[in-house]
């Protein structure tokens, strides 16, 4: 970390800063220039809050020369991390398709969808049991029963299962879920992140719609520094001023994150674009940007379901997206 001091800093404040840093075992290298003095800080600077130093009256600016995340940092772990989700490898050049309904509704529904997506190219079954909804009056999901139905679908099809957790107290219910998802709204629910760090199941961490890349990686760091290295990042869009799509899928995030971290990166176009017709149009772009896989909402029977159809693709469209995505991934790997 480099601290650029203002000209003629107050000596008492500077001494106070230096004493505080030394107490934290930070070595300080001072460079006195013509107009500015610069402090180079060496040691475990990840625990130092750059914003706080930056706000001091005597400080012009603070620059980290090393990212504040350690476990997630590619610099210290050059090889891609490969996370095994119930036997399915995610990351390291492979390509995974995660598919299933927004909400688990019934045994018949989830088993029907599980069979269809398995046949047409899914590696992992997803399904919502605890649904975070903006309105308290909206349907909140089947809860524990939804998890049980996902397990039944796994039993039937052999597909590993993924579901979103919304609170630490639900953790026992997820003991046998293959991939635990943290939704965008909980990306900085630090208590939940820490709890997921103390268990071993892989965690898929959706980006908060207002989160910078660094904040996203720091949330992964919460899980990893608590003991669980099996983190998958999932880009699901950010909030912008454009009214026509719910969130904007940030595909530039994929190559930038690829350079910063060794963790796998999945894209979730359904979450971002919110309209089924757009999903097959944007999915290939996510593959071409380098995603390690896609997570898609698929509905089994759109003809009789008013309320899930519009956001979800049907199994035929899913089959086409999956086939095209895998072929494109292979094509680009060879090209």
Smallest separation, CB 25 to a copy of itself (Å) = 13
Under the criterion CB under 8 A, does residue 328 sit at the interface with a copy of itself? yes
Smallest separation, CB 87 to a copy of itself (Å) = 29
Under the criterion CB under 8 A, does residue 330 sit at the interface with a copy of itself? no
Cα separation, 153 vs 176, whole angstroms: 13
Collapsing DSSP to helix, strand or coil, 28 comes out as: strand
Nearest to 235 by CA among 221, 249, 214: 249
State which of positions 112-131 bind a copy of itself (CB under 8 A): none
Under the criterion CB under 8 A, does residue 306 sit at the interface with a copy of itself? yes
Please answer whether residues 294 and 286 qualify as being in contact, where contact means their C-beta atoms are separated by less than 8 angstroms. yes
Task: Return the H-helix or E-strand segment holding 322.
Answer: helix 315-334
Under the criterion CB under 8 A, does residue 203 sit at the interface with a copy of itself? no
Under the criterion CB under 8 A, does residue 108 sit at the interface with a copy of itself? no
Cα 296 to the chain's mean position, in Å? 15
Under the criterion CB under 8 A, does residue 98 sit at the interface with a copy of itself? no
Task: Output 167 or 176, the one with its CB closest to a copy of itself.
Answer: 167
Under the criterion CB under 8 A, does residue 143 sit at the interface with a copy of itself? no
Task: Output 88 or 263, the one with its CB closest to a copy of itself.
Answer: 263
Burial 296-324 (b: 16+ CB within 10 A, else e): bbbbbebeeeeebbebbbbbebbbebbee
Collapsing DSSP to helix, strand or coil, 42 comes out as: strand
Under the criterion CB under 8 A, does residue 198 sit at the interface with a copy of itself? no
Smallest separation, CB 43 to a copy of itself (Å) = 11
Under the criterion CB under 8 A, does residue 333 sit at the interface with a copy of itself? no
Question: Tokens 């895998």 label which residue?
Answer: 326
Under the criterion CB under 8 A, does residue 169 sit at the interface with a copy of itself? yes
Please answer whether residues 110 and 129 qualify as being in contact, where contact means their C-beta atoms are separated by less than 8 angstroms. no
C-beta atoms surrounding 33 within 10 Å: 9
Task: Output 175 or 327, the one with its CB closest to a copy of itself.
Answer: 327
> What mask, x for binding a copy of itself by CB under 8 A, covers residues 246 to 285?
x-xxxxx-xxx-x-------------xxxxx-x--xx-xx
Task: Output 185 or 200, the one with its CB closest to a copy of itself.
Answer: 185
Under the criterion CB under 8 A, does residue 147 sit at the interface with a copy of itself? no
Structure tokens at 253: 């995030």
Binds a copy of itself by CB under 8 A, chosen from 68, 115, 171, 173: 68
Under the criterion CB under 8 A, does residue 29 sit at the interface with a copy of itself? yes
Cα separation, 234 vs 83, whole angstroms: 13
Smallest separation, CB 334 to a copy of itself (Å) = 11
Under the criterion CB under 8 A, does residue 46 sit at the interface with a copy of itself? yes
Burial 90-101 (b: 16+ CB within 10 A, else e): bbeeebbbbbbb
Smallest separation, CB 249 to a copy of itself (Å) = 6
Would you give the DSSP letter of residue 169?
A: G
Please answer whether residues 299 and 113 qualify as being in contact, where contact means their C-beta atoms are separated by less than 8 angstroms. yes
């Amino acid at each position: 970390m480099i601290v650029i001091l203002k000209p003629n800093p107050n000596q008492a404040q500077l001494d106070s800063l230096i004493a505080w840093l030394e107490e934290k075992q930070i070595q300080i290298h001072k460079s006195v220039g013509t107009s500015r003095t610069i402090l180079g800080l060496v040691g475990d600077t990840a625990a130092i809050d750059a914003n706080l130093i930056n706000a001091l009256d005597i400080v012009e600016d603070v620059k980290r020369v090393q990212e504040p995340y350690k476990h997630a940092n590619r610099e210290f772990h050059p090889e891609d991390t490969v996370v095994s989700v119930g036997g399915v490898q995610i990351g390291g050049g492979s390509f995974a398709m995660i598919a299933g309904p927004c909400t688990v509704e019934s045994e018949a529904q989830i088993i029907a969808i599980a069979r269809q997506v398995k046949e047409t190219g899914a590696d992992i079954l997803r399904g919502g049991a605890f649904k975070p909804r903006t309105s308290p009056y909206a349907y909140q999901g089947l809860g524990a029963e939804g998890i049980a139905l996902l397990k039944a679908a796994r039993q039937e099809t052999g597909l590993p299962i993924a579901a979103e957790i919304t609170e630490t107290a639900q953790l026992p219910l997820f003991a046998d879920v293959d991939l635990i998802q943290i939704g965008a709204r909980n990306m900085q629910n630090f208590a939940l992140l820490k709890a997921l760090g103390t268990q071993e199941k892989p965690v898929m961490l959706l980006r908060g719609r207002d989160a910078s890349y660094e904040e996203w990686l720091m949330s992964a760091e919460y899980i990893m520094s608590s003991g669980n290295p099996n983190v998958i990042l999932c880009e699901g869009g950010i909030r912008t001023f454009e009214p026509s799509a719910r969130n904007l899928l940030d595909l530039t995030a994929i190559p930038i994150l690829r350079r910063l971290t060794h963790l796998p990166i999945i894209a979730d176009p359904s979450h971002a674009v919110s309209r089924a017709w757009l999903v097959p149009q944007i999915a290939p772009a996510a593959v071409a940007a380098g995603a390690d896989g896609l997570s898609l909402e698929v509905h089994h029977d759109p003809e009789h379901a008013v309320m899930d159809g519009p956001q979800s693709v049907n199994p035929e469209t899913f089959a086409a997206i999956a086939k095209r995505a895998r072929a494109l991934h292979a094509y680009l790997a060879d090209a």
